[in-house]
Amino acid sequence: LPWGLLHLLWPFFVQNLIIGYFWYRRIRCLEAFCTDNLTIKNRSVDPTPATRDWIARFFAIHYGAFHLAYLIALVVLTTVSSRRHDQALPDDSPWLVIGVVTPADLVFMLVIAISFYFSHRQAFAAQVAADRSRKPDIGRLMILPYARVLPMHMVLVLSPALGQTSMTWLYATLKAIADGLMHWVEQRWMASSKSQT
């Protein structure tokens, strides 16, 4: 079977979880940070450990809730797509086949996930070191991973309307833009931390 959209969605989902885990830890590792333009319950906040911990918890719950919804959607899409493929549903069926995930695919995706975990763990150490040599804006830091949420939203909303091929290309493009944006911002932050030391 050819690969479909699901073969992009599952690894991207797992990447998002790994990024979210390390991002939570990164926020918790902040020692000095600023809270410019950050409000909690319509009140300005000071850059204290309590603020840092609140932001970290909020991020974990909010980002986690998005991904719980994505997990449910992916399980449903995977099940329906597999069932449609197995039952050879007619082309006019409202269910879209967006790939069939086989056990071999799962093994391959697990290898990708393990590889991404270890590479991101290494990047995490460099990010924490850079954060300690500058005073990051905790609000901006918390928001950055959400750039990766948009492609998942687009897929869930537009897949039935666009069909698998168009959606796969759109998703791959949005994913590349999100990854590029995160990388560009991270590199700017890393460069600013080097210039401050």
More confident residue, 102 or 116: 116
Q: Which amino acid is at 52?
A: R
pLDDT, residue 157, reads 77
Distances (CA, A) of 79 to 5, 42, 83, 107: 14, 43, 6, 18
3-state class (DSSP) for residue 43 = strand
Q: Determine the length of the chain.
A: 197
Separation in Å, CA 33 to CA 30, 136, 171, 193 = 7, 5, 34, 13
Is the separation of the CB atoms in 33 and 135 below 8 Å? yes
Whether the per-residue pLDDT at 167 is higher than 70: the answer is: yes
Per the model's pLDDT, the better-predicted residue between 161 and 73 turns out to be 73
Q: What is the pLDDT of residues 16-28, one digit of tens each?
A: 999 999 999 999 9
What are the extents of the domains in the chain? 6-196
Place 85 in a pLDDT band, splitting at 50, 70 and 90. low
